[in-house]
Amino acid sequence: MGPFTGLSARSFGKLITTLRREGVDAPRPGRPWSLPLEDRVLLVAAYWRTNLTLRQLAPLFGVSKSAADRIIDHAGPLLALKQRQRFRKDSVLIVDGTLVPTRDHGIAQQSKNHRYSTNHQVVVDADTRLVVAVGRPVPGNRNDCKAWAESGAKAAVGRTTTIADGGYPGTGLLIPHRRPAGGELCDWKKEHNRSHKQVRARVEHVFARMKNWKILRDCRLKGDGVHHAMLGVARLHNLLQAA
Q: Are residues 200 and 115 in the same domain?
A: yes
Q: How confident is the model at residue 240 (pLDDT cuts 50, 70, 90)?
A: confident
Check whether residue 100 and residue 41 sit in a common domain: no
CA distance 42 to 52: 14
Is the pLDDT confidence value at 4 over 80? no
Average pLDDT over residues 217-228: 94
Q: Look at residue 236 and tell me if it is in a domain.
A: no
Exposure of 63 in the CB half-sphere (CA atoms within 13 A): 19
Query: CA nearest 73: which of 239, 237, 232?
Result: 232
The yes-or-no verdict on residue 153 having pLDDT over 80 is: yes
* 120 alpha carbon, distance to own chain's centre: 8
Mark whether 112 and 171 lie in a shared domain: yes
Tens digits of residue pLDDT in 61-72: 999 999 999 999
Q: Which of these ranges, 61-65, 105-109, 186-190, has the smallest mean pLDDT?
A: 186-190
Residue 179 lies in a domain: yes
- Quick one: residue 6, left, alpha or beta (phi over 0 = left, psi -120 to 50 = alpha)? left
**Range 25-30 contact pairs with CB under 8 angstroms and sequence separation of 24 or more:** none
- pTM of the entire structure? 0.91
CA dist 33 and 65 (Å) reads: 14
Q: Containing domain of residue 164, as a range?
A: 92-221
Same domain, 99 and 215: yes
CA distance 60 to 63: 8
pLDDT of 84 strictly over 90: no
Give the β-pairing of 138-139 and 116-125: antiparallel
Residues 71 and 108 reside in one and the same domain = no
Scanning the chain, the segments in alpha helix (DSSP H) are 2-5, 9-21, 37-50, 54-57, 65-78, 144-150, 153-157, 187-210, 225-242
Last residue of a domain, one of 78, 111, 139: 78
Whether 84 is covered by a domain: the verdict is: no
pLDDT of 85 reads 82
In a shared domain, residues 54 and 174: no
The mean pLDDT of the chain is 91
Whether residue 60 is found in the same domain as residue 165: no
Residue 127, number of CB atoms within 10 A of its CB: 12
CATH of the domain at 206: 3.30.420
Cα 53 to chain center, whole Å?
21
Instruction: Check residues 114 and 98 and name the one with the higher pLDDT.
Output: 98
**If you average pLDDT over residues 134-158, what whole number do you get?**
94
**Total domain count for the chain?**
2
